[in-house]
Amino acid sequence: MTASAHPGLPVLAINLPRSVDRWERISASIDGSGLVLQRMVAVDGATIPHAKRLLLDAPRFRRYHGRTVLDGEYGCFLSHLAALSAVVEQKLPLAIIAEDDVAFDRGLAERVRSIFAASPKVELLKLANHRTSGFVLHGTSALGDQFGRCIHGPQGSAACYAVTGKGAARLLEALATMWLPYDIAFERGWSTGVGTYTTPAPLVAMNGPQMATTIATKEEYRVAKQPKIRQIGTALFRGMDYLARMTYAMRGR
């Protein structure tokens, strides 16, 4: 069976009920992509009282990330866990998880499948990043798309990624408790045990001109930061994590 003969690749798109315009935009981009869109209702973290945030280790988050967790970050974390759970529960061998601010290009499903077919090591493939500095090539698909890992990071963004059923199950176990923002936590393959890779350039576009995040404002991020004297543990953690990332990027080439 050729890649084009496959049924549509499932894409689980995370969308807040109030973000109707975003849902309309992402739905409009599906034509010709080879994807089958499934809506995942996003969790609004602001509706969950702090006392009921049972999946959050707040002291560890402050210690290793240098600030308090934001409502939107907690909601984002839970939303992605729900999407991963759906991949496992629906027994999907491969699926794309996306936030609602991306747009899909024609033939995306075929390109994604081709990368996963190129190496059995690929269990999670980031399709969008804020940065890909120090990209280390690990392979090239039959369609010519490169994939690999980055020496520098965090790369940022959980806007769009493909994951196998096995990878989703492992992520659910590894990320059972939140102590880092999701976009940082899920790309740490050296810690999660999930074979994590990225493309050097995004395979999806951001949907709309500089679409604002629904997670938090710049002011909310600023207010949440710990005083510098209390960020010593954060600096040590980030230094060790950077070394681990470098080693992981070079591993298995």
pLDDT of residue 213: 55
Average pLDDT over residues 230-246: 91
Domains and CATH numbers, the chain: 3-250 (3.90.550)
pLDDT band at 217 (very low <50, low <70, confident <90, very high): low
Length, in residues, of the chain: 253
Q: Is the pLDDT of residue 228 over 70?
A: no
Alpha-carbon distance of 94 to 157, in angstroms, equals: 20
Q: Is the pLDDT of residue 131 over 80?
A: yes
pLDDT: which is higher, 4 or 46:
46
pTM reported for the whole predicted model: 0.90
pLDDT of residue 243: 97
CA 211 to chain centre: 17
Q: Is the pLDDT of residue 81 over 70?
A: yes
Q: Is the pLDDT of residue 133 over 50?
A: yes
